[in-house]
Amino acid sequence: MKRFNNSKITLQLVAFLVALMLTDGSTNADFTFGSALPLPDPINVPGRGSADLTMTADGLEVYFVSIDRPGEYGGGDIWCCRRESLDDDWGPATNLGPKVNTSACESTPSISADGLELYFSDTSPFGAPNRPGGFGGGDIWVTRRASRTDAWAVPINLGSRINTSSMETYPDISYDGLSLYYSGGDLWVTTRPTKDDSWGAPIRVNGAVNTGAWEGFPNISPDERALLFYSDRPGGHGGMDIYISIRSRLSDPWAAPVNLGPGINTPFYDISPSFSPDGSVLYFSRGDSPGWAAPFTSARLP
């Protein structure tokens, strides 16, 4: 594809065991990472791009972005795989179809815990167009369905309270569905009293998270006391690195982020981190060459 300068994009999804213990009133920031092994076909397909994994709370549906996969509608589409139980293999990858996917780049999906809301952005580092009807620069959208067996509805733009003429991307919906984290260079969060209410005015994530460097792809743990993201801030291993910030109580500011270290971060692009529903596994995308248009590889913890 011309927009990739003929590079083969093979974004990698990688899973590691995370020993992160968060207890009332105290935080233990020790981590134990297992060896990475590739996530299987049909999530990773040789010569195709797969990234930005998000999973329903029951672990039975996984959504991800794939680039240049046969059957796509444009510059990157959202796909889904399902399985009957946690012990089963993933079923075939299904494109979400032309209501959700367009000639734009639909990317960075985040599925709600109940599987009824899917947030995503239309931002692409590869020059794909934005969806019609947005505010410019890349926006955040949501599609909904009445039940897990229903089709996804036509996506709705989150509107001018969230989206601007600049870039808004990397949405992440909290487990309770009442907080939405996203990136516009800095990390932001918007909240709502109930799932039936509109999102409130966004604020920058507090504490020591934002630095003026690029902070992207926030992912909040199920208990909302650990926040993953990636950044090109000084002091990393090169390219983009994955960091984690923790807090003991929800009312506390976020602590100074910790680089996840050379076992995960490389001189290239290590991006798109996300927790598994139980918080025990970390998925992310890894590149093996500099830049966005580099070939990427993939791995997973058994």
**Confidence band (pLDDT; 50, 70, 90) for 125?**
low
CA distance 78 to 190: 24
Interval 194-213 mean pLDDT? 95
Looking at 2.60.120, 2.60.40, 3.30.43, 2.120.10, the CATH number of the domain 2-297 comes to 2.120.10
Q: Checking phi first, is residue 194 left (phi over 0); if not, alpha (psi -120 to 50) or beta?
A: beta
Please tell me what DSSP assigns to residue 184. Answer: S
Q: Encoding tokens for residue 119? A: 């947030």
CA distance 93 to 14: 18
Which pTM value belongs to this model? 0.89
What does DSSP assign to residue 198? Answer: P
- Cα 290 to chain centroid distance, Å, stands at 20
pLDDT tens column, 127-159: 678 899 999 889 999 999 999 999 999 999 999
Mean pLDDT of all residues in 6-24: 39
Model pLDDT, residue 58 = 96
Q: What is the pLDDT of residues 247-278, one digit of tens each?
A: 999 999 999 999 988 878 889 888 899 988 88
